[in-house]
Chain A
Amino acid sequence: MTQVAKQTMTYRQAIREAMREAMLKDDRVFLMGEDVGRYGGCFNVSEGMLEEFGNERIIDTPLSESGFTGCGIGAAVTGMRPIIEIMTINFSLLAADQIINTAAILQYMSGGQFTVPIVIRMATGGGKQLAAQHSRSLEGWYAHIPGLKILTPATIEDARGMLWPALEDPDPVLIFENSTLYNSEGPLSGNGQVVDIEKAKIHREGADVTILTYGIGLQKSLKAAEELANQGIEAEVIDLRVLRPLDNETIFTSVTKTGRAAIVDEGWKSGGISAEISARITEELFYDLDDPVERICGMEVPAPYARHLEQASLPQPEQIVETIKKMGGLHG
């Protein structure tokens, strides 16, 4: 059987393939985390990899986020290329000291003697009825820290293609995988392997308003854009892809064109990435704005367990449509 150039795969498979490829290409790469080996990963991402690569490269750890993240940092500093999987972003709080106080600043504090080429992957986001402790979207927090690179693959292509350049990056890279995306399926466009990890991407062009989003917000925004188009409003939808450093150029070019921006983020507004983007737009493009920047974000409450309440607390396409329709100067 010959290889098909364009395949369909799930987000989960795309990440697994990316890790397999990296491990085949470079024997310094290994995967470490809770349940990544025998259990196949909490979200089944590394299923079968223990059998394929053995327990020296697929390492199950105790429940000790600070410990194994620290091990990963040490390994990276001393020449390895570790992929650390933290089950979910909620538990990364236990490793925050390692990530923020060590990985992000070791190069600076060592006077450039060490770099930390670690990749830390984790699931993020709500929407799966996992309640208040397990449904957070804190990627915006990590985007606050200089020294980290923050990636948010929203597509099969990015899930497949972001890992390798992240491993090649000399600095710590955090990859946030929205847990509701793992089952999503789609064709693998592009060359199916490597993508850039610098630029935001325009998924839909439009002249009336720019929707800026990332991760799970992308599908919701595209859906909203379709409905808006039915009502005569052409929205440009941009997947930010990289939350740090933000791709100012793509954002500013689009908002200059449309004169309007709406930011869709499952995270909270206060001190969030949506606040940062809004501030940048206002700082740089004040005289190009035809409306105040709008934000459609997660409600500032602990994630509810009840399904209808949880869904109500997350940004939904209808809400995006309504918010944008209310922006002034769009009709007529």
Chain B
Amino acid sequence: MGKFIMPSLGSQMIEAKLIQWHVKPGDTVKKGDIIGEIDTEKGLIDIEVFEDGVISKLVAKEGEVIPVGSVMAVINGEGKTEKVTAKPAETPKESAKNVPGNGKQKVASKKQVAKSKEVPLHRIKASPLARRVTEDLGVDISKVKSSGKTGTIHRKDVEAYVQQQTADETFEKELDMAEHISKAEGKSMRQSIAAAMSQSNKEIPHYYLEIEIDMKAALDWLSNENQNRSVQERLLPPMMLIKAVANALTEVPQLNGFWTDETMHIEEGIHVGFAIALRQGGLVIPAILNADLKSLDEIRGDFVNMVSRAREGHLRSREISSATITITSLGERGAEKVYGVIYPPQVALIGLGKITDRPRAVDGSIGIRPTLSVVLAGDHRATDGHTGSRFLEKLNNQLQHPESL
């Protein structure tokens, strides 16, 4: 519901007399309609409404002197703005027309009417410093979000916005680059996979180690944790496994890195790649960067985000080129064990099978336990089975203590 107020038609104007309404309650008005006539020091002036709607009430009476800013009418409308403005009668011809009860002539000159200033209804609360900084940096303050409870924008918020923008730009550039690279290579994904896997099989002397991990503790913890979470925030086993692998690698870093120039290069950052099968065939391996440093929730966020972007073909080049180790999981598809092929120049690949209930010796008797088969493929040039075995042991430890992940 809008209020039609007496407009200010110049800094000197403090009031004006309403001469005549051109509308009555119930009338439908459109933005731009002349709805009445007022008498100011500058002469008679037509007042124009800047809102669509229906006149619900005429507050001001004809002949009444009304101060600037006072409500003259109430308009029920779909329009959200309360802006009003006035325009002088258009032509001298019109102004010659007699107005009942008033001998004065209408004034036509536009110069005599100050432009009514548009006042945005939604005022942005920002500190003076924040406003100055947005001006200095050329930032549109309406795009900046407050991080505080009061909704006030502070300098920090502007700086965070600028930082985010820069990051977004970098992201866009990387996207472009990724697209560019894949186009330039001119190869189909099938051909790329073929090349990498052939090279791997030709050059890498694989060794395979296998462990069966009791997943009861991990799955119990997970379902307990998920009870308090919304569907979108639920943790899934792969997220937990990525985190467990990353943590185990901090203890056995020899498997994290690249074999190049006939030497093993252990990488400091643990970027866990995970193979995602695409519906149209083929697969991509985005990496969760610095997975060891991220919390389970951060990994969840990255995972969800990457899977959906991978399926849309929107991964960043950094994400698909920097994995230091790869996890391949065919569990969903039914395979119980996965003997993978290492993605060169990485030196290890972890194959995760399907978690299935299997009989298992538990505390001296046989119990049915959810069991995960993990097969480590290692590059025998870079590491020996002993290292790989230690890694599997650490991984198992991680999964027996899910609360500390």
Interface residues of A (CB under 8 A from B): 259, 286-291, 328-330, 332
The answer to whether A290 and B127 touch across the interface, beta carbons within 8 angstroms, is: yes
Chain A residues within an 8 Å CB radius of B132: 287-288
Q: Are B156 and A287 neighbours in the complex by a CB distance under 8 Å?
A: no
A-side contacts of B129, CB under 8 Å:
259, 287-290
Contact assessment for A329 and B127 in the assembled complex, using a CB-CB cutoff below 8 Å: yes
- A289 contacts B127, CB within 8 Å? yes
A interface, over-half SS: loop
> Would you give 9 A-B contacts (Cβ < 8 Å), ordered by A?
A288-B132, A289-B127, A290-B128, A290-B130, A291-B154, A328-B127, A329-B130, A329-B152, A332-B156
Interface of B: prevailing SS: helix
Q: Are B155 and A329 in contact (CB under 8 A)?
A: yes
Q: What is the bound-complex CA distance between A329 and B156, given in angstroms?
A: 6
A288–B130 alpha-carbon span in the complex (Å): 8
Residues of B within 8 A of A288 (CB): 128-129, 132
Complex interface: chain A residues within 8 A of B155 (CB): 259, 290, 329
* CB closest chain-A residue, reference B147: A332
What residue in chain B is nearest A256 (Cβ atoms)? B129
Establish whether residues B131 and A329, one from each chain, have CB atoms under 8 Å apart when the complex forms: no
Q: Which B-chain residue is minimally distant from A292 (CB atoms)?
A: B127
Whether, in the assembled complex, B186 has its beta carbon less than 8 Å from a beta carbon of chain A, the answer is: no
Query: With an 8 A cutoff between CB atoms, is B138 at the interface?
Result: no
* Mask: chain B, 125-145; 1 = CB below 8 Å from A; 0 = not: 001111110000000000000
Q: Are B131 and A287 in contact (CB under 8 A)?
A: yes
Q: B98-128: contact bitstring with A at CB < 8 Å (1 yes, 0 no)?
A: 0000000000000000000000000000011
Q: How far is the CB of A268 from chain B (nearest CB, A)?
A: 27
Please tell me if B82 contacts chain A, counting CB pairs below 8 Å: no
Query: B364 at the A/B interface (Cβ < 8 Å)?
Result: no
Task: List A contacts of B147 (CB < 8 A).
Answer: 329, 332
> By CB atoms of chain B within 10 A, which of A259, A289, A290, A291 has the most?
A290
Whole-angstrom distance between the Cβ of A174 and the nearest chain B Cβ: 35
CB B320 to nearest CB in A, in angstroms, measures: 32
Instruction: Using CB atoms, name the residue of chain A closest to B157.
Output: A329
Which A-B residue pairs are the 9 nearest by beta carbons? A329-B154, A290-B129, A290-B127, A328-B148, A287-B132, A329-B156, A287-B128, A328-B152, A290-B155
CB of A280, distance to nearest CB on chain B (Å): 15
How far apart sit A199 and B155, CA to CA, in the bound complex (Å)?
30
Task: Answer yes or no: B150 CB below 8 A from chain A CBs.
Answer: yes
- Tell me, rounded to whole Å, the shortest Cβ–Cβ distance linking B147 to chain A: 6
Measured between alpha carbons, how far is A230 from B175 in the docked complex, in Å? 42
How far is it, in angstroms, between the C-alpha of A330 and the C-alpha of B146 when the chains are bound?
Answer: 12
Bound Cα distance A302, B155 (Å): 40
List, in ascending order, chain A residues with CB within 8 A of B131's CB.
Answer: 287
Q: A90 vs B185: C-alpha distance in the bound complex, in angstroms?
A: 89
CA distance A5 to B16 in the complex (A): 80
If A287-B129, A289-B127, A329-B130 are given as contacts, then 14 extra A-B residue pairs at C-beta distance below 8 Å, sorted by A number, are: A287-B128, A288-B128, A289-B129, A290-B127, A290-B128, A290-B155, A291-B127, A328-B150, A328-B154, A329-B127, A329-B147, A329-B148, A329-B157, A332-B156
Taking CB atoms, residues of chain B closer than 8 Å to A290 are: 127-130, 154-156
